[in-house]
Amino acid sequence: EVQLVESGGGLIQPGGSLRLSCAASGFTVSSNYMSWVRQAPGKGLEWVSVIYSGGSTYYADSVEGRFTISRDISKNTLYLQMNSLRAEDTAVYYCARGPPYSSSSVPCWGQGTLVTVSS
């Protein structure tokens, strides 16, 4: 079964750091494009970052220079290192397989992990 399970969210003070993890099963993280998407309370979806299968990484302007996406092949896990956190980073963070999508790869989103930035 294709599955993603996020962890690492919690309450953090402004300026602090947090690392989110996204453990995959049923497929290989390093062979896929993997994304992070967030959703502030009561708001819409916001794309955060993507890592290509080849290792290239891209970020939303709002997190560029503060967040780093990475992966551990041995653990089949995706990460999001978040530094210099701000109140506006408060959101549920989802990891996802893709895009792009194809008929041969089952799309998958994790259940989400809540990050609250507050003093």
Partner 1 sequence: VIWMTQSPSLLSASTGDRVTISCRMSQGISDYLAWYQQKPGKAPELLIYAASTLQSGVPSRFSGSGSGTDFTLTISSLQSEDFATYYCHQYYSFPWTFGQGTKVEIK
Given the complex with partner 1, which of 73 and 109 has the nearer CB atom?
109
Instruction: Kindly state the tokens that stand for 18.
Output: 């947090």
26 is a site residue for partner 1 (CB under 8 A): no
Tally Cβ neighbours within 10 Å of residue 95.
30
Instruction: Kindly state the tokens that stand for 50.
Output: 């993507």
Strand ranges inside the chain, DSSP E:
3-7, 10-12, 18-25, 34-39, 45-51, 57-59, 67-72, 77-82, 91-97, 108-109, 113-117
Given the complex with partner 1, which of 15 and 26 has the nearer CB atom?
26
Q: Is 31 exposed, middle or buried (0-12, 13-18, 19+ CB in 10 A)?
A: exposed
27 is a site residue for partner 1 (CB under 8 A): no
5 is a site residue for partner 1 (CB under 8 A): no
Listed ranges 12-20, 57-65, 68-76, 79-87: which one lies at the site for partner 1 (CB under 8 A): 57-65
Listed ranges 15-23, 39-47, 67-75, 83-91: which one lies at the site for partner 1 (CB under 8 A): 39-47
> Where does this chain bind partner 1 (CB under 8 A)?
35, 37, 44-47, 50, 58-61, 94, 99-101, 103, 106-107, 109-112
